[in-house]
Amino acid sequence: MISQLLKTLRDGDGFEAALVLAAIGYLLVFAAFPLVYNIVMSFQEVDMFSLASFDRPFRGLDNYRDLIQRPEAWEILRNTIIFVSCSVVFQLGLGFALALFFQLDFPGAGAIRGLFLAGWVMPGLVVGAIWKWIFAGDFGVLNYALHSAGLIDKNIFWLSDPAYALAAVTIANIWLGIPFNMILLSVGLAGIPEDIYEAAELDGANRWQRFMSITVPLMGSTLGAVISLGIIFTLQQFDLVAALTQGGPANASNIAQYWSWQMSFQTYEISAGSVVATLMIAVVVVVAAIYVRSVQHEHSA
Amino acid sequence: MKRSLLTGVAVVLAALYLFPVYWMFVTAMKTSGEIFQYPPAFWPASPHFQFRAVFASYNLGRYIWNSLLIATGTTAITIVLGTGAAYALAYVRGFAVNVALFAILMLQVLPPSLMVTPIFVAFNQVGLLEWPRVAVVLATAAKTLPFYIILCRATFTQVPRELRDAALVDGNSRVGAFLHIILPLARNGILITGVLVFLQSFGEYVYSRSLIADKELQTATVGLSTFLGADANDWVGLMTYSSLYVTPILLIFVVLQRRIVSGLTSGALK
């Protein structure tokens, strides 16, 4: 019995099954279990005192009700929507423009394009530190540049002015997301056969017509994947907020994922932190399902 | 002529984009008086390095050591568990495989900032927070493992099935075919993906910040964030810290750039 098991593990289907099960087992313990535990805690009363206890009182939907009655909840929801939509629109727009530009045939295109990814490999916290210095009110280089260009005549206090704090975090996040968008879109562009364009050119279609009638439709599934990945990465963004504004001033730049962490680790309202985390993860899972679908669609097409 | 003009435009675009990285290095080379000059100088009057002083005063050695330990542990777990799984998922087909792949793709997108609450509470209950760096490694590996499996699987699908089948006919066991035939052929992909995992976990922040209480055990990201408070004004020191921390990362990136780009793109869209 045991020797048979060993034999199938070494030289049968058991070998592949064991390899997959080892990884899946790890993920069940350290990813799937926390996921479920999170949902459970969002219905329980969890604070500093019941933290270590296994037997915590259930509160039903009360945690959810308390959360939406907080005055800051709607402001943070609004911030999150602005943060995500602006990030995705500008990352995609600028990334697409760069991808199209680097698609032109010139010496060094591939190598120079690769340089853009340098921003992507740096730790988010370091990127946040650099931007904090660029955004500095009195001595920041961004204010200097805007001054010289004649766009402002008074320094903007990007990080401490509630009117600008969210914009500052969003700008830094757009910077971080551009290279990834550009590279993925470049791959999609490279997959469009050249002769389609040539045929359209012979038919007298101009550049714009060719872009709208060939590039955009054929990029459909790539665009779907890139947009959903952009949303997912933006919803994962934590380091930039931590480095730049910590959600301040007065929640002006706070977003849901940072708020969840603040409640769990700074004010120890762990139930409330779990509620936000549960709701946000639900959003992420829906977006991820769209992503997987569009990738599979592309794969089979 | 026109084509070299385009190269010029491309260089300008890249320079504009990389300005923040340049600004970090330039600021690190200025004196603390120089950075508060107006207008700001785009090149230091005389380059001024304070690597040693910053290294000592910010306790950088300790922080980088902790980051290295955590990145090494995370990468080891990820490669050991992930390589075999990626191989099996590339070679076996069927409904169960599709389900497993879908689950792995889903786990890849879970934001650490939202997963850290249940992980903290559960680790606290079972006593894992007694070893905070181990706790961070275990939590981070759950994030990097799906990423690694998906990218590595793309590598394995490029190794022809026939090679494995031929090895089996020749009398190799499945373990033998995997270890001696397939693994060597997929070596490059495994290496690059491993480097990506290492770089990611070397810059990890949320889990380290939340699970490590002892200052002596914290990572370089957490160290940086504590110096970044609202009253931060030693920008020369902070940018020197940042430069020392990211220069090795950027060097690895420049050396492996081509392969990183192709490895990344093959995984995200397949």
Q: Which of B84, B146, B235 sits opposite A22 (nearest CB)?
A: B84
Average pLDDT, chain B: 87
What does the pLDDT profile of chain A (301 residues) look like in tens digits?
667 766 766 666 788 888 889 999 999 999 999 999 999 988 888 877 777 777 788 888 888 988 888 989 999 999 999 999 999 999 999 999 999 999 888 888 888 888 888 888 899 999 999 999 999 888 889 989 998 888 888 888 898 889 999 999 999 999 999 998 998 888 888 888 888 888 888 888 888 888 888 888 888 878 888 898 899 999 999 999 999 999 878 899 999 999 999 999 998 888 899 999 999 999 999 998 888 777 766 554 4
Interface residue A277 vs chain B (CB under 8 A): yes
Q: What is the pTM of this model?
A: 0.90
CA distances from B33 to B45, B147, B240, B242 (A): 11, 45, 15, 19
- CB–CB contacts below 8 A, A to B: 300
CA distances from A81 to A141, A253, B82 (A): 29, 12, 35
Q: Which of B39, B143, B264 sits opposite A144 (nearest CB)?
A: B39
Interface residue B6 vs chain A (CB under 8 A): yes
CA distances from B203 to A121, A124, B149, B168, B208 (A): 9, 7, 20, 42, 10
In a domain, A31, yes or no: no
Provide, as residue numbers in chain B, all residues whose Cβ is less than 8 Å from the Cβ of A102: 10
In a domain, A49, yes or no: no
In a domain, B7, yes or no: no
Q: What is the nearest CA distance from B13 to chain A, expressed in angstroms?
A: 9
Kindly tell me if the per-residue pLDDT of B234 is higher than 90. no
Task: Tell me whether residue A71 is exposed, middle or buried, using C-beta atoms within 10 angstroms of its C-beta: 0 to 12, 13 to 18, 19 or more.
Answer: exposed
Interface residue B45 vs chain A (CB under 8 A): no
Q: What is the average pLDDT across B103-114?
A: 87
- pLDDT tens digits, one per residue of A78-105: 999 999 999 999 999 999 999 999 988 8
In a domain, B15, yes or no: no
In a domain, A122, yes or no: yes
Query: What are the two backbone dihedrals, phi and then psi, of residue A44, each rounded to the nearest 5 degrees?
Result: -105, 170
Kindly tell me if the per-residue pLDDT of B268 is higher than 70. no
Q: What is the pLDDT of residue B221?
A: 93
Cβ neighbours of B36 (radius 10 Å): 14
Interface residue B209 vs chain A (CB under 8 A): yes
In a domain, B8, yes or no: no
Question: Could you tell me which of B71, B79, B80 has the C-alpha nearest to residue B248?
Answer: B71
Q: What is the average pLDDT across B195-223?
A: 92
Q: Identify the closest residue of chain B to A22 by CA–CA distance.
A: B81
Interface of B with A in 212-231 (CB under 8 A): 220-221, 224-225, 228
Dihedral sign (CA A230, B89, B102, A191): positive
CA distances from A175 to A243, B9, B20 (A): 15, 19, 10
Q: What is the nearest CA distance from A119 to chain B, expressed in angstroms?
A: 7
Round to whole Å and give the CA distance between B238 and A194: 49
Q: Kindly state the percentage of chain B with pLDDT values over 70.
A: 96
- Which of A115, A117, A132, A138 to mutate against chain B (most B CBs within 10 Å)? A115
Domain count, chain A: 1
Q: Identify the closest residue of chain B to A107 by CA–CA distance.
A: B7
Domain limits for position B169? 62-221+246-268
Structure-token match 């905070």, residue found: B132
The more confident residue out of A284 and B174 is A284
Query: What are the two backbone dihedrals, phi and then psi, of residue A139, each rounded to the nearest 5 degrees?
Result: -120, 10
Dihedral angle over CA of B218, B220, B225, B231, nearest 10: 110
Q: What is the average pLDDT across B66-88?
A: 94
Round to whole Å and give the CA distance between B262 and A114: 10
Kindly tell me if the per-residue pLDDT of B121 is higher than 80. yes
Task: Tell me whether residue B148 is exposed, middle or buried, using C-beta atoms within 10 angstroms of its C-beta: 0 to 12, 13 to 18, 19 or more.
Answer: buried
Interface residue B18 vs chain A (CB under 8 A): yes
Interface residue B166 vs chain A (CB under 8 A): no
Give ipTM to 2 decimals. Answer: 0.90
Provide, as residue numbers in chain B, all residues whose Cβ is less than 8 Å from the Cβ of A185: none
**Helix, coil or strand: residue A14:** helix
Q: What is the average pLDDT across B53-79?
A: 92
- The reply to whether omega before B39 is within 30° of 0 (cis) is yes
Provide, as residue numbers in chain B, all residues whose Cβ is less than 8 Å from the Cβ of A22: 81, 84-85
Residues B137, B73 contacting (CB under 8 angstroms): yes
Interface of A with B in 88-147 (CB under 8 A): 98, 101-102, 104-119, 121-134, 136, 138-139, 141, 144
- The amino acid at residue B53 is A
Interface residue A190 vs chain B (CB under 8 A): no
| Residues paired with residue A58 on neighbouring β-strands, in sequence order | A44
Interface residue B81 vs chain A (CB under 8 A): yes
Q: What is the pLDDT of residue B270?
A: 45
Q: Which of B18, B88, B122 sits opposite A20 (nearest CB)?
A: B88
Query: pLDDT grade, residue B20 (50/70/90)?
Result: very high
Residue B114 to residue A257, Cβ atoms within 8 A = yes
Q: What is the nearest CA distance from A87 to chain B, expressed in angstroms?
A: 16
In a domain, A42, yes or no: no
Round to whole Å and give the CA distance between A34 and A130: 33
In a domain, B19, yes or no: no
In a domain, B204, yes or no: yes
Token output for B156: 């394995």
Token output for B164: 């494995």
In a domain, A19, yes or no: no
Provide, as residue numbers in chain B, all residues whose Cβ is less than 8 Å from the Cβ of A287: 109
Interface of A with B in 138-157 (CB under 8 A): 138-139, 141, 144, 148
Interface residue B89 vs chain A (CB under 8 A): yes
Round to whole Å and give the CA distance between A79 and A125: 21
Q: What is the pLDDT of residue A61?
A: 86
In a domain, B236, yes or no: no
CATH of the domain at B112: 1.10.3720.10
- The amino acid at residue A49 is F
Round to whole Å and give the CA distance between A167 and A90: 12
Q: Identify the closest residue of chain B to A14 by CA–CA distance.
A: B174
| Residues paired with residue A44 on neighbouring β-strands, in sequence order | A58
CATH of the domain at A197: 1.10.3720.10
Interface residue B107 vs chain A (CB under 8 A): yes
Q: What is the average pLDDT across B52-63?
A: 87
Dihedral angle over CA of B230, B236, B239, B243, nearest 10: -160
DSSP one-letter string for A227-285:
HHHHHHHHHH--HHHHHHTTT-STTTT--HHHHHHHHHHTS--HHHHHHHHHHHHHHHH
Q: What is the pLDDT of residue A237?
A: 93
Q: Which of B3, B107, B112 sits opposite A27 (nearest CB)?
A: B107
Provide, as residue numbers in chain B, all residues whose Cβ is less than 8 Å from the Cβ of A118: 18, 21, 250, 253-254
In a domain, B6, yes or no: no
In a domain, A37, yes or no: no
Residue B23 to residue A141, Cβ atoms within 8 A = yes
Domain limits for position A182? 71-300
Q: Identify the closest residue of chain B to A222 by CA–CA distance.
A: B269
Provide, as residue numbers in chain A, all residues whose Cβ is less than 8 Å from the Cβ of B228: 128-129, 132, 243
Q: What is the pLDDT of residue A301?
A: 41
Residue ranges of the alpha helices (H) in chain B?
2-17, 19-28, 51-57, 60-91, 95-108, 112-126, 132-157, 161-169, 174-176, 183-185, 187-202, 206-211, 220-227, 235-268
Domain count, chain B: 1
Query: What are the two backbone dihedrals, phi and then psi, of residue A58, each rounded to the nearest 5 degrees?
Result: -85, 145
- pLDDT tens digits, one per residue of A9-63: 666 678 888 888 999 999 999 999 999 999 998 888 887 777 777 778 888 888 8
Round to whole Å and give the CA distance between A165 and A256: 15
In a domain, B3, yes or no: no
